[in-house]
Amino acid sequence: MRISIKHVFATCSVAALALAAPQAALADHQAETTTGMTNTAQAAPLIPRDDLFGNPTRASGQLSPDGKWLSWRAPKDGVMNVWIAPASDPDAARAMTAATERPIPVFFWAPDSRSLLYVQDKGGDENYLLYGVDVETGRETTLTPFENTRVQVVGTSQNIRDRILVGLNNRDPRFHDVHMLDLNTGELTLVQQNDGYAGFLADDNLDLRMALQPNAAGGMDFFPIVDGEIGAEPTASTTLEDSLTTQPAGFTTDGKTMYWIDSRGRNTAALIAQDVATGETTVIAENDKADIGGTMTDPKTGEIEAYSFTYLTTEWTAIDPEIKASLDWLDAQLEGEFGVQSRTEDDGTWVVWNDPLTAPTKTYIFDRGAQTLNEFYTSRPDLDGAPLQAMHPLELTSRDGLTLPSYLTLPPGSDPDGDGKPDSAVPLVLVVHGGPWARDGYGYNSTHQWLANRGYAVLSVNFRGSTGFGKDFISAGDLEWGRKMHDDLIDAVDWAITEGVTAPDKVAIMGGSYGGYATLAGLTFTPEKFACGVDIVGPSNLETLLETIPPYWAPMIAQFHERMGNPATPEGLAMLKERSPLHSADKIVKPLLIGQGANDPRVKQAESDQIVAAMKGHGIPVTYVLFPDEGHGFATPANNIAFNAVAENFLATCLGGRAEPIGDTVTGSSAEIVEGADHVQGLQAALGS
């Protein structure tokens, strides 16, 4: 059985430079083919970009805690908004929000079920404010009405349902002060001023019980809080090696047990229960290949009922026999991956998603008592019958013996016997994940499906430094940006060439955030390895990247320095300069496409501007697409689809794959083609110039 439960732990680790999955936009459905593809790939229908990246019909389905309401995100006038309907009458749907520019990324229910809460930023600046919508009246309130402020949810409660704890950095942009927020009146009351802590942990009484503070060793000190007073000495600590794999994970409702994700004394992070009164700890679960991945907890007691580990795929174990019975029943009904994304407080009804892997994802309402499973929605019904391809989990080996968990998707018709190898070599796109303290996983992946449908093998590699595989694997990436982390990617490409998956001159590299850096590193440090590259919001200069991180990342800067290089030391500064693609821009000899959001708070626009300027100074061509209303990724559908239109035609130009025409996608977006329109097939014509 492989399931996945969507669960969020309160974490205070290094803020990853990860690229959020953006929404896509509308695109014309006219298909165009180009030379260089196999007959089987040519024969497969071209999946329209809109079907893969456009707004889903519905997403993020949830039940209100009292079970009376269904809720979800869906388009309203082309923008993703929050909708609700009575659970007894799902057809009586109404939109509760009225966003007109950017999709609402996240919403959740107030514990008392009286209001919906959501966050939204402006133009991708990631200064998220919290909004509340009264379910009965529809009245919307800005609950954190501050400029240049990023809200954090610090604590919610099973017993105190009209209030939550939030963190606000409006006093000092570096630190989030903790406030009690009355959800019905909007009143904010200061609970704890923050003068240097990375975060706080609260119990079900909404009392702060622990403060987390970075230490000189690059880890974290955990200070007890008793009666509102932070202790003078920490009760637990980590060093750098455990900093990304050890953190408190919450209390049971009665406050007697605290859970930990903990790698201290072991390589992989285990799930630990600690008796608050005695300090005694018990290992609930551990795995020698993977860190603890997620949990299911009892909605009333907060006790853990099931847990997961994800190595190549996700495996769940239920502790509670009734939860096990429900999961076993679901496993017998559903093909592929499934998971529980919402539960009522009486735990009688679940919202369950099902990813069949080669068919569109469906979401169901599961009545546990009656054992009935009724369809809630299909997120992308236009993909029904589309030639979606299987994803193949792999274990690759680096040149120094590390195992690299990886995933390969092949073009339609290229692998008739389904053994994970094409009958003949095909072009390949190496898609590098962001972070780098993140990971690739198994399941439906829109980027993999898109590129495979265009005729490419698609390879994603969990290189050293990726999370989820133990602290040793993370630490193996320390100070290895552009070196051993990059070697792992090269080793994966060499494997694909040796195994006949692709040819040496038919490999592109593509990625966002750290993946964008990896693209720039690939074209500068190994300039003959890749046929071309697509960099999305990638840093080109590690020195300026660290100088311009968001202020609320300041408490974590020591970890950045230890894992990337410390610009305050001569050796560290020299390393950062050496590993910065900007300083090797003159070595680029292959085509490069860059996409950037002007409001990106993590990787500033200057990171793209400066490498484009350096390339121009050396007479090297580059195509540069800038979005003035985007940040770290392209959330607005028209913008995302426009960049993907340019990207697939860019790849077709250099690898010979298939592509939809660009059409009016670029002119219908905010995209500014700063440089190089003539280097992408059809782009000049699409711009009308």
Catalytic machinery residues: 513, 600, 632
What distance in Å separates the CA atoms of residue 497 and residue 520, rounded to the nearest whole number? 21
Residues 6+ apart with CB under 8 A from 535: 510, 511, 516, 517, 519, 520, 592, 593, 594, 595, 608
The CA-CA-CA angle for residues 215, 217, 223, to 5°, reads 30
| 3-state class (DSSP) for residue 132 | strand
Q: Does 436 sit behind a cis peptide bond, omega within 30 degrees of 0 on the bond before it?
A: yes
What distance in Å separates the CA atoms of residue 501 and residue 169, rounded to the nearest whole number? 50
Is residue 212 within 8 A of residue 220, CB to CB? The reply is yes
Looking at 410-542, which runs of residues are DSSP E strands? 428-432, 457-461, 507-512, 532-536
The distance in angstroms from the start CA to the end CA of the chain is: 55
The neighbour count for residue 275, using CB atoms within 10 Å, is 12
Is residue 31 within 8 A of residue 425, CB to CB? The reply is no
Is residue 150 within 8 A of residue 127, CB to CB? The reply is yes
Is residue 197 within 8 A of residue 213, CB to CB? The reply is yes
Task: Pick the closest to residue 4 from 408, 306, 358, 284 (CA basis).
Answer: 306
Alpha-carbon distances of 507 from 358, 428, 493, 504, 532, rounded to whole Å: 25, 5, 8, 7, 7
The CA-CA-CA angle for residues 645, 651, 657, to 5°, reads 100
Helices 446-453, 637-655: axis angle to 10 degrees equals 40
Alpha-carbon distances of 547 from 171, 554, 576, 606, 618, rounded to whole Å: 22, 10, 12, 12, 26
Residues 6+ apart with CB under 8 A from 10: 154, 199, 201, 247, 248, 249, 250
